[in-house]
Amino acid sequence: MKKYKKLLFGTVALSLALASCTEKNPDSTVSSVSTSGQENISETDKTSGTGQSGNNGEKKNELDFHGITLNDIYLSQGTSRAPTTGTYKVLVLPIEFSGKNEAFRADYKERIKNAFEGSSDKNSPDYTGYSESLKSFYQKSSYGKLNLDFVYADKYQVGMTSKNWYNSPDAQAKNGEEQDYDYGSHLLKKAYDNYTKNNTIDKDCDSDKDGYIDATIMVYSTKDYSIDSKNKKFDKVGYYWAYCYNATAFDSNTWAFVPDENTPIPDNYMFLSYDMLWDNNDNSNNGQPKSDYHTVVHEYGHMLGLDDYYGETDEDFGSYNPMGGVVMQDYNICDHDAFSKTQFGWTDVNYVTTSTTITIKSLNTSGQTIIIPTNNGNGTLWDEYIQIELYNPTGLNELDSKTAYGDTLGLSKAGIKVYHIDNRLYYFDGEDDSKYGYVDLKKDVFDIDDNYYLVAASNCQKLGSEYVPDEYNLCQMIQAEGYDTFRAGTATNDDLFQTGSVFDPLKFTDYFKNGKGNNGADFNFTVEFVKVSAEEATVKITFR
């Protein structure tokens, strides 16, 4: 079976990091469903469109995933992502180079542990000195549905400088006939082998029992190539950076294609610098650097299956960020947005196809969100639609709405965010390159044995630009005043919809042509925000 090229996800260049249930009208027919996460489902469920089974064996409403998860899409490409719900253990592999100033501190393991699972409580003995750890962020963002634990290996000593490793054959791998940098996959294997010589892989590192460790994080001791640009002029490809990848991305990593349920092996991994876990310019934590969760949380979003939401940079027009820079998968700040959380299975979705009035509470406290499809909606998340959330600058949004991260400040006012989502699936026939196109989930069978799949639209990767228009964004925040200004800057409080605001796709011509979606179907409704406060919003949806 032919597989799609594996995808490399990296962090956006930020100056700090681098110098860097629902109330509704009782007469309405709104469907309200709690979306299911990336749990294991049977092949029958995936192909029949009957919906996904939960842990209790009960069928979920098919409005949620239509039996398809983010992980299913990656599996069709020959790779995988970490589970988005449940409790499992992440394997942490420290990697130490031998160059001058490249060694870990003596207390490296304690400090890594603090960054990954410390507390945001200032009175706690394991206080991070800043705010969230990787663990506490995802516990809060998921409303307790994702709980990460960690297994920490002793450091693996590479025995050479970061420069010598970069220039060695070990930093190369092959995908077919193409030679490329291995982006840490050989270090992954060496560190894993070093750990398993004297340790057994914890069974909770492979929660789905597929023979692969759910998630592995490599923390390397040298500085990243941009913060140490004087000494890392040799790094022409950004090898020493922060990104997620899969060992199975390279055909030459033959070891990665033999999963072992008895001794799980790594595949889905993160590679980032030790310094990216800390704000080394701020010693207000009793003279010690403060733990800084932003980069590792953003990268873990990739390990769970998300794309980058920041836009491509154009020489003539600069950087265009369709999401306005103010969500975690964009400029690494604030909480995850409603679209991301819904894909993870964390939200309570109101799927609206008839005129109604709904009251939702703020996303960060309730997980409540609204989805309104075009008039040709397929009843799934793998579609084109409008998504609505009530934003509140509290909880995981509070820190970044008060303190700029690099040059970007989160929104400091409560209000409604409206997103245009184009999450339609594209298929490629595994045997015949001439057969490809959008998936029609009303009639097509989703079959990962015969096809590979991707989401065609993207903000950053533009995966399908060879096949679909590259102006199709995966997710885009619609500005309340109706003008798309995100090429000139990031989102501001004025971009939020407030009490009395009306969203009519026919009038938002910067975003829609004649009120139509990318798929040519009509967004045949108006949305009036009757009352908006920090705690809840009353939303009136009227179909034409």
Residue 22 banded pLDDT, cuts 50, 70, 90: very low
3-state helix, strand, coil in the chain (%, to 5): 20, 25, 55
For the ranges 27-41, 45-59, 156-170, 267-281, the lowest mean pLDDT is seen at 45-59
pLDDT exceeds 70 at position 53: no
pLDDT digits (tens, 9 = 90+) for 531-540: 999 999 999 9
Rg of the chain over Cα atoms, rounded to whole angstroms, equals 23
pLDDT tens for each residue of 392-448: 999 999 999 999 998 899 999 999 999 999 999 999 988 887 889 999 988 888 888
* pTM given for the model: 0.89
Residue appearing with tokens 């701020």: 282
Which helix (H) or strand (E) segment holds residue 147: the answer is: strand 146-152
Q: How far apart are CA 26 and CA 358, in angstroms?
A: 10
Burial of 213 (0-12, 13-18, 19+ CB in 10 A): buried
Report whether pLDDT(314) > 80.
no
**DSSP H/E element including 276:** none
Q: What is the pLDDT of residue 492?
A: 96
Residue 57 pLDDT greater than 60, yes or no: no
Tokens of 415: 């209000």
Query: Does the structure show a pLDDT above 50 at 294?
Result: yes
Q: Which two tokens stand for residue 125?
A: 């003995």
Average pLDDT over residues 205-231: 95
512-521: pLDDT as tens digits? 999 999 999 9
Predicted confidence at residue 137, as pLDDT, reads: 97
**Mean predicted confidence (pLDDT) in 14-35:** 35
Amino acid 311: pLDDT: 84
Q: What is the pLDDT of residue 291?
A: 84
Residue 465's pLDDT is 63
CB 313 within 8 A of CB 13: no
Torsion of the alpha carbons at 281, 217, 12 and 7, rounded to the nearest 10: 170
Query: Per residue in 125-166, pLDDT tens?
Result: 888 888 899 999 999 999 999 999 999 999 999 999 999 999
Distance CA 521, CA 246 (A): 37
pLDDT, tens digit (0-9, with 9 covering 90-100), for 484-510:
999 878 999 999 999 999 999 999 999
Query: Percent of the chain beyond pLDDT 70?
Result: 84
For residues 487 and 476, the answer to whether their CB atoms sit within 8 Å is no
d(CA 299, CA 279) in angstroms, rounded, equals 17
Mean pLDDT along residues 308-334: 84
Question: Which pLDDT does position 67 carry in this prediction?
Answer: 74
Q: Distance between CA 388 and CA 117 in Å, rounded?
A: 32
